[in-house]
Amino acid sequence: MTDCDATAHDLSELWSWRYASIPLVAALIGYVTNLLAIQMTFLPLEYIGWGEKFFHRWGFSCGWQGIIPSKAEKMARKAVRLITTKLIRVQDVFDQLEPAEIVKCVEPKLQHTVERVLHEVASTHCPDVWETLPLVVRSEVARAVCERSPPYIEAMMRELKGQIEEILDLEEFVVEKLTEDPELLGEIFKRCGEAEFRFIERSGLYFGFLLGLLQSLAWYGLTASCYPKEFFLPAAGALCGYVTNWIAMFLIFKPIEPIRCCCCFTIHGLFLRRQREVSKEFAALCAGRVLTARNCWERILYGPNREAFEKIVMAQIRRAVDEQAALVRPMLPLVAGGKTYVAAKEQAAGLFVEFFPAAVASTYEYSQRAMGTEDLLRTKMQELPSIEFEGVLHPVFEEDEWKLIAVGGLLGLWVGIFQAVFVFGALDFSHIF
């Protein structure tokens, strides 16, 4: 064979299906590893593993749980601290509530509540007097009490607003809501970073293919030389899987601040340049699924600091009973400071606390509208400096991104071994068997 023929043969070999498969396989490696990295970020929600008793003695486990579900509290706390320190204060939110509007919302349920409380108290402490009263008189007493109630409810709301930061711990409340539902936390990160996750998937194809072209040329060079080549494809596959994942992660968050290049284009982290759109999505999700009026009120009514709110309610009810005692005087023979009066007043206060949540439920629609949490979150978030805005999504990757990148390298290694053994026959394991 002449030198020309040998050269032609070498060139035809370079363009053969085996060499052409290298960049295609590299693109597939990049895509699959990046896709796998995304799935491993969110799934599975529960830990899946094996050999726990065996491995536990050495302090590690053989299994996997999605990064977000496994570190839900830690990630939620990072995101919440951004909300509570940079975006909103619970005081600012509740300051939007007008006590007079709250009164209007609860008025339809107030008559029924007052009637129930009066019936319970009077039946307990002066049943003979109460039973002799006509129904129309009982209703008139309840109506009179309702008419005189608004000032006490408004005072109750003003006092609540003044102590809201002690009663409603916003950080603990939001962290608890997010950690009790890892799916919700994952949805927030997934929807805020939807474009970035899509980029991670596609970038595996692009960068993998480019790296594969370099692999193909390098492999051809090694084939035409006397240098050892047996482990090139496995090593190149591992490098391809590793590098494509690393590049994708890097381009999402770097550079943090926009850099103008050659006066014609700007380099800026992909996630960071979408600050306005992400802020809108994040605010809508948080306001609509977490910081809802219903959730906030339920935390006040049933949360760990509910006793502080109950004290406010009971103090106003006691005050109302003392100031409106003339209305119930006919039913309380010992109204002038007697034990019956004191017991009746305490029972009335306790019953109002018990029935109050039903009345509060009628304020949810107004509270949601008046609090304006979504608008406030969106506006404040859009004004954040890039370095602080990065903290919205980066916690998803920050701590465990090395695992995701390493998985890409490991998968690429195995694909490289497959190529070397079954496509090029460069590795021979027959002697092992």
- Both structure tokens of 77: 């706390």
In a domain, 395, yes or no: no
Mean pLDDT of 19-36: 78
pLDDT of residue 336 exceeding 60, the answer is no
pLDDT of residue 218 exceeding 60, the answer is yes
Q: Is 63 helix (H, G, I), strand (E, B) or coil?
A: strand
Same domain, 211 and 356: no
Nearest to 146 by CA among 181, 108, 184: 108
Same domain, 27 and 153: no
Q: Is 163 helix (H, G, I), strand (E, B) or coil?
A: helix
Cis peptide bond N-terminal to 44, omega within 30: yes
pLDDT band at 337 (very low <50, low <70, confident <90, very high): very low
Q: What's the confidence (pLDDT) of residue 433? A: 36
Q: What percent of the chain has pLDDT over 70?
A: 82
Same domain, 124 and 198: no
pLDDT of residue 71 exceeding 80, the answer is no
Q: What's the confidence (pLDDT) of residue 294? A: 92
Same domain, 297 and 361: yes
Q: What angle do CA 169, 174, 176 make, to 5 degrees?
A: 95
- Is residue 114 packed enough to be buried (19+ CB in 10 Å), middle (13-18) or exposed (0-12)? buried
Q: Rounded CA gap, 124 and 400, in Å? A: 63
Q: What's the confidence (pLDDT) of residue 264? A: 65
- Both structure tokens of 171: 């950080």
If one compares 174 and 20, the residue with the highest pLDDT of the two is 174
Q: Rounded CA gap, 218 and 212, in Å? A: 10
Q: Rounded CA gap, 358 and 363, in Å? A: 10
Q: What's the confidence (pLDDT) of residue 7? A: 43
Q: What is the tens place of the pLDDT at every residue in 400-417?
A: 677 767 877 787 787 777
Mean pLDDT of 43-65: 68
Residues paired with 260 in a beta bridge: 266
Same domain, 289 and 343: yes
pLDDT of residue 47 exceeding 80, the answer is no
- The structural domain count of the chain equals 2
Same domain, 413 and 365: no
Cis peptide bond N-terminal to 255, omega within 30: yes
Query: How far is residue 282 CA from its own chain's centroid?
Result: 9
Phi, psi of 395, rounded to the nearest 5 degrees: -55, -25
Mean pLDDT of 154-164: 90
Same domain, 290 and 380: yes
In a domain, 76, yes or no: no
Q: Rounded CA gap, 54 and 233, in Å? A: 35
Q: Rounded CA gap, 67 and 35, in Å? A: 14
Mean pLDDT of 367-374: 90
In a domain, 188, yes or no: no
Q: Is the pTM of this model over 0.75?
A: no
In a domain, 26, yes or no: yes
Same domain, 164 and 281: yes
Q: What's the confidence (pLDDT) of residue 430? A: 47
Same domain, 380 and 405: no
pLDDT band at 61 (very low <50, low <70, confident <90, very high): low
State the chain's mean pLDDT as an integer: 77
Q: Which residue type does 206 have?
A: Y
CB 143 within 8 A of CB 326: no
If one compares 32 and 97, the residue with the highest pLDDT of the two is 97
Same domain, 302 and 377: yes
Residues paired with 63 in a beta bridge: 49
Q: Rounded CA gap, 312 and 319, in Å? A: 11
In a domain, 419, yes or no: yes
pLDDT of residue 10 exceeding 60, the answer is no
Least confident of 84-88, 144-148, 328-332: 328-332
Q: What's the confidence (pLDDT) of residue 224? A: 61
Q: Is 37 helix (H, G, I), strand (E, B) or coil?
A: helix
In a domain, 266, yes or no: no
Q: Rounded CA gap, 353 and 322, in Å? A: 17
Mean pLDDT of 86-103: 87
- Entry field: residues in the chain: 433
Contacts of 246 (CB under 8 A, 6+ apart): 405
How far apart, in Å, are the Cα atoms of 196 and each of 36, 39, 80? 15, 14, 21
CB 275 within 8 A of CB 378: no
Q: What is the tens place of the pLDDT at every residue in 98-156?
A: 989 988 888 888 878 888 888 888 788 777 777 787 888 778 877 887 888 888 888 98
Q: What's the confidence (pLDDT) of residue 54? A: 60
Q: What's the confidence (pLDDT) of residue 396? A: 63
- Is residue 411 packed enough to be buried (19+ CB in 10 Å), middle (13-18) or exposed (0-12)? buried
- Both structure tokens of 201: 């998937």
Q: What's the confidence (pLDDT) of residue 5? A: 44
**Helix count and strand count (H, E) for the chain:** 24, 4
In a domain, 92, yes or no: no
Q: What is the tens place of the pLDDT at every residue in 288-308?
A: 888 899 999 999 988 888 889
Mean pLDDT of 328-341: 55
Q: Rounded CA gap, 312 and 357, in Å? A: 14
Same domain, 117 and 58: no
Q: Rounded CA gap, 143 and 129, in Å? A: 19
Q: Rounded CA gap, 107 and 359, in Å? A: 8
What value does the CA radius of gyration of the chain take, rounded to a whole number of Å? 34
pLDDT of residue 334 exceeding 60, the answer is no
Contacts of 66 (CB under 8 A, 6+ apart): 40, 41, 42, 43, 44, 45, 182, 186
Q: Which residue type does 274 have?
A: R
If one compares 54 and 199, the residue with the highest pLDDT of the two is 199
Same domain, 372 and 229: no
Expressed as residue numbers, the domain containing 147 is 100-172+277-384
In a domain, 189, yes or no: no
Q: What's the confidence (pLDDT) of residue 3? A: 44
Q: Rounded CA gap, 14 and 12, in Å? A: 5
Q: Which residue type does 291 have?
A: L
